[in-house]
Structure 1
């Protein structure tokens, strides 16, 4: 193996170790959040639970708040990608253009229920509101563009008011659905949400 190949291999191993360390810390974060309040969790708790050194932690994060913020940003980025991925013909189970995106939203929550349940429980402590609001506002705009092909004319109802109404409806209903243990399927939730929005 030449010098260049060794450098590439070393970089790959370094990237792989960094990814593994971050995954271990993310897992440790959620495990600890199940056990105790955010304010009682220390960097030492996180590194002990993850089985890594403090120096490794500080190579990736400034403090525990930076870790939590990066984890939440990543979660919402993954959700956005899942919701707005290209639509396959087999996914069209409704005449309403928004069905697929709402279905995917609930499907994603279902697949990652444990983590989102913890965020529901600890959201206020983690100050998740700003991150979540930014995600839902961006998703609202993306959703309108996907469904209508452009941002709509607000006409008689200001667009900002429409946005807040829809976001509140979807977030509130999703929280209720998770807290109740997902009493209905993602398909039922998507169909019902469309019906509710159309009737109001």
Structure 2
């Protein structure tokens, strides 16, 4: 049983890594399941045993990214959270460009919005539970505000080829 679990885990990791590799090379829209299988060195049956389609795969990857962002938030000083997120994006700029800017589909944009919406809903619920004074009593407007801002800045920053370099202050920008 354990051996089977390892194979399943390795197959899923190979599929995810293949998508990451392909996103470094071309836009999401142009990536096919065949491309993913060829890069991961797996058969289509194996791919479909793990994911319904490439949109479910990218949703899984975005969910993993969300967990990574939550980890950054929990383990970074508050004043450095935004810096760490932006540096991660800059370090993976080709991937972010091909995923979120180049010929972005409505479905992918909804996935991106949904990922950050879920992320901010969780964070704001924790803040509310801990007694943090929020700008608004109801969460949906705050979630929409933060989500739109983050998605907008990520897209702008990626589209313009990172004209600002994040510095220690989350509100500072250093022009090249």
TM-score (norm 2): 0.71
Query: For residues 64 and 99 of structure 1, do their structure 2 counterparts lie closer, same or farther at Cα, with a shift above 3 Å needed?
Result: same
Q: Distance in 2 between matches of 1:167 and 1:54?
A: 35
- 2:59 is matched with which residue: 66, 69, 90? 69
- 1:177 is matched with which residue: 143, 157, 172? 157
What residue number does 1:106 align with? 86
Which has the higher Rg, Structure 1 or Structure 2? 1
Displacement of 1:112 in angstroms is 2.9
Displacement of 1:43 in angstroms is 2.7
**What are the residue-to-residue correspondences of 1:29-108 with 2, within 5 Å?**
29-33=19-23, 34-35=25-26, 38=29, 41-82=31-72, 84-87=73-76, 91=77, 98-108=78-88
- 1:140 is matched with which residue: 120, 130, 153? 120
**Does 1:18 pair with 2:12?**
no
Higher helix share goes to which structure?
Answer: 1
Query: Which deviates further from its counterpart, 41-50 or 184-193?
Result: 184-193
What residue number does 1:150 align with? 131
Task: For structure 2, list consecutive stretches of 5 or more residues without a partner in the other structure.
Answer: none
- Number of residue pairs the alignment of both structures matches: 171
